[in-house]
Amino acid sequence: LSEPSTVLACNLGNGAVPGEPVKKDENSRRGNWGNQIEFVLTSVGYAVGLGNVWRFPYLCYRNGGGAFMFPYFIMLVFCGIPLFFLELSFGQFTSLGCLGVWKVSPMFKGVGYGMMVVSTYIGIYYNVVICIAFYYFFMSMTNLLPWTYCNNPWNTPDCAGVVGTPRANATFANVSAVVSGVTEIVNRTKRTSPSEEYWRNYVLNVSDGIGDFGEVRLPILGCLAVSWVVVFLCLIRGVKSSGKVVYFTATFPYVVLTILFIRGITLEGAVSGIKYYLTPQWEKILDAKVWGDAASQIFYSLGCAWGGLITMASYNKFHNNCFRDSIIISVTNCGTSVYAGFVIFSILGFMANHLGVDVSEVADHGPGLAFVAYPEALTLLPISPLWSLLFFFMLILLGLGTQFCLLETLVTAVVDEIGTDWIIKNKTYVTLGVAVIGFLLGVPLTTRAGIYWLLLMDNYAASFSLVIISCIMCICIMYVYGHKNYFKDVEMMLGFPPPVFFRICWRFVSPFIITFILIFTVIQYKPITYNDYVYPSWSLVIGFLMALSSVICIPIYALFKIAVSEGSTFLERLKNSVKPDPDWGPALQEHRKGRYATTGPESVEVCPLKEDLKDEGKEKLKEKEDEIGLTIPGSNGSTLNPSPSA
C-alpha cells in the first residue's frame, strides 16, 4: 500500500464505487466505449444494414415465403450466433483490431489482411449506395416527386405511370379472363415505370456496357462527397464520437420502419402482400437451394469475416459479457430483417392491388427494390414526398451504421499495426486519409458505368472469400491454437467457460455449415447479369480477381512468415511461425493472470476495501485478502469486482 497510485485507487479516488463500473477508460492508451450501450448499438448498426431491407424479403418470397423462416433460424442458431460470439470474444480478449489479434498464431495474419481487403471493397461501393440514397432524399424535398409522371425529358415512349390510371374493370376481367390476361402480360412487357426510367435514364444515365464509363455524374459525385464527410465527422474521435452518433443512427431507423409499417398495413391490398410474404410453401424445405440461401443470408447479414466485429469488440472492457451481447445483437439483426419484410410487403401488396397484378410482378431485390419498386409505390401514397423523405432517410441511417464500422476497421488496423504514440494521438489524420482514399476510389462508380461496377463488386468482392476467411479463422483458433486454450481464455475473460453448445459449434458444426455454403456457392454459380445486360468475360475475370485478392493474402503471408521464422529446417520454422507471439493475451497487465501472469514490479497489487480498513484494522485485513478477493488495479479505471466470497 505504499504506492501513491494504488492508495488513490484503494481510496476510490477515481470515482468508482464497489460493484459499479468506473467512468475512466480501462485502456487509457487505446480507449474504450463510453458505456456498453454504445457498443451494442454500434454492433446493431453494423449488422443491420441495407441488405435487411432489400435482400431478406426477396429471399423469403423466392424461397417459399414463411417456409424460408425455418432454415433461416436454424442457420442463425447453429452458425450465425456462434461465429458472432467467436469474433467478439477474439477481439475483446486482446483489445486489438483484425490485424493485431493474429498474435495468436502469426502465420495466419494474412487472414487479417484479407479482412481488410474485404472491408475496403465493401466500404467503397457501400458508400456509393448511401450517396444515391442521399440524392433521392434531397430530390424528395419537393411538392411532387420527380418520378411520378412520364412527362419529363428523360422519359421514353414506353413509359407508363400508375398514378391516376384507372384500374381495369372487374366485370370485364371476369367475362374475358383469357383476353385480359394476355393483354396484361403484353402491357407489362412493354411498360416501363417512371421510377425505373428516372433511376436508369436520369439518376445513373446508364451507359451501354461496363467498359463504357462516359462522364462522371456530378450530382452523384457531390452526394458521395457529402456521404464521406458525414462518415469522417462521425468518426473524427474514433469510437468516442461514433459511440454517441449511434444513439440516433441505430435507433431512428426503427422509428421510421414502425411509421411506414403502420401506414402500410392500413393500405388496400396490404394484407395480400403480407400473406404472400408469410405463406409457407413447405415443399421447398427439401430444396438445397433454400438452405443455401438461408445460410448465406445469415452469414453475410451478420457481417462475419469483415473484421468489423473484432474491431468493435476490441474497444470493450476486458470482462464485458460479450456472450450476452452476441445473442442480443444477432437476434436483433434477424428480427429486423423479418420486421422489414412486413413493411416492404405491405407496400408492395398495395402496389400490386393498384396495378391489378400479382405481388411477384412488382417485387424486386437489390437496388431495384430500394430505388425502383419502392419509390414507385411511394407515389401512390397521399403526401408522397413525406413518405419518400422518411424512407430514404432510413436507408441513409442503415447504411451509415455499417459504414462507420467498415471505416473504423481499416483505421484501427493501421493504428494498431504501427502502434506508436504519435499515430495513436493523431488517429484523426489516419481517419481522414482513409476517407479521402475511399472517396477517390469511389469516383469511378459515379460514372455512367458505375452501376455495373457496383454490382460486380457486390457479387464477387465479398462473396466466397468471406466463407473461406471464416473457415480458416475457425481452424486456426480451434485446431492450431487449440480449443482448450481458447476455452480457458474465454473463461478467464468472462468468468465462465463457453457453453457446451458453442464449443461444439465452434469445433464441428459451424465449420461444416461454412463448408456447405462454399460448396453450394460454387455449384450454384451463375454469371452476373444486370437486367438484360450480360457481363463480358473480361469483367467476370476482374470480379474473380477481386474475390481472390482477399483470399490470396492468407497463403502469401503464411509463406513469408515461415521464411523469416527461426529454425534450421522447414518444420522448425513452421512450428515457430504458428506459436503464439510472446505478447499474445490480454492487453493490460492487471488482466494477465494464469499462464499470462508476469512476475516483478509490474504485477497487479491487491488492496483492501476502505470499509474493511475501518472495521478490521490493517493487519487483520491483510490476513484475509485471499478470502475477500477484491482486485483493485491502479488508477487506469478498471471495474471493482468483488468475488462471490466477499
Give CA–CA dist 624/617, Å, rounded: 11
pLDDT for 364: 62
High-pLDDT (> 90) share of the chain, %: 57
Question: Do residues 411 and 238 touch, judged by C-beta distance below 8 A?
Answer: yes
164-173, 220-229, 476-485: which has the minimum mean pLDDT?
Answer: 164-173
Containing structural domain, residue 354: 37-153+192-558
Q: What is the pLDDT of residues 561-620, one digit of tens each?
A: 999 999 999 999 999 999 999 999 999 999 998 889 875 444 333 333 343 334 444 444
Q: Is 398 annotated as a binding residue?
A: yes
Give 133's contacts (C-beta < 8 A, 6+ positions apart). Answer: 370, 392, 395, 396, 399
Q: Is 567 a domain residue?
A: no
Rounded Cα distance, 614 and 585, in Å: 37
The residue that leads in pLDDT, 353 or 320, is: 320
Question: Which DSSP category does 617 fall into?
Answer: -
Extract the C-alpha cell encoding 65. 415465403
pLDDT value for 640: 41
pLDDT band of residue 207 (cuts 50, 70, 90) is very high
The Cα-based distances of 76 to 51, 118, 327, 332, 433 in angstroms read: 16, 22, 10, 12, 37
What number is the average pLDDT over the span 97-126?
96
pLDDT of residue 419: 82
The whole-number pLDDT of residue 337 equals 92
The pLDDT value recorded for residue 206 is 93
Count the Cβ atoms, other than its own, within 10 Å of residue 363.
Answer: 25
Give 480-541 as a DSSP string: IIIHHHHHHHHHHHHSSPPPHHHHHIIIIIHHHHHHHHHHHHHHT----EETTEEPPHHHHH
What confidence score (pLDDT) does residue 348 get? 83
User: Is residue 47 part of an annotated ligand binding site?
Assistant: yes
447 domain residue, yes or no = yes
For residue 5, say whether it is annotated as part of any ligand binding site: no
- What are 387's three cell numbers? 413518405
Residue-wise pLDDT for 395-431, tens only, equals: 999 999 999 999 999 999 999 999 888 998 899 999 9
Give me the pLDDT at residue 378, please. Answer: 87
Q: Is residue 147 part of a domain?
A: yes
Cβ atoms of 398 and 52 closer than 8 Å: yes
Work out the percent of the chain whose per-residue pLDDT is above 70. 84
Question: How long a stretch of residues is the chain?
Answer: 646
Q: Which residue has the cell 512450428?
A: 575
Nearest Cα neighbor of 52 from 397, 497, 565 is 397
pLDDT in tens, 256-308: 999 989 988 998 999 998 988 888 888 888 888 888 888 878 887 898 889 99
Task: Match 434531397 to its residue by C-alpha cell.
Answer: 138
CA distance 31 to 54: 36
> pLDDT of 317-339, one tens digit each?
999 999 999 999 999 999 999 99
Overall domain count for the chain: 1
Angle between helices 464-475 and 553-564 (to 10 degrees): 40
Strand (E) positions, 527-581? 529-530, 533-534
Residue 320 placed within a domain: yes
The span from the CA of 485 to the CA of 473, in Å, is 15
The pLDDT, as a whole number, for residue 30 is 87
CATH number at residue 268: 1.20.1740
Q: For residue 457, what is its C-alpha cell?
A: 463488386
For residue 585, tell me if it sits in a domain: no
pLDDT at residue 102, rounded to an integer: 96
Q: How confident is the model at residue 365 (pLDDT cuts 50, 70, 90)?
A: low
- DSSP one-letter code for 207: -
Backbone angles phi, psi at 165, to 5 degrees: -80, 120
DSSP structural state of residue 639: P
The predicted pLDDT at position 185 comes to 37
Backbone angles phi, psi at 216, to 5 degrees: -75, 135
- The pLDDT of residue 620 is 46
For 449-487, letters b (16+ CB in 10 Å) and e give: bbbbbbbbbbbbbbbbbbbbbbbbbbebbbeebeeeebb
Segment 175-201 shows an average pLDDT of 58
pLDDT higher than 50, residue 627: no
Phi–psi pair at 159, nearest 5 degrees = -70, 135
* CA atoms of 120 and 106, how far apart (whole Å): 22
User: Is 52 annotated to bind ligand?
Assistant: yes
Question: What's the confidence (pLDDT) of residue 491?
Answer: 96
In a domain, 85, yes or no: yes
Q: Average pLDDT, whole number, for the chain?
A: 83
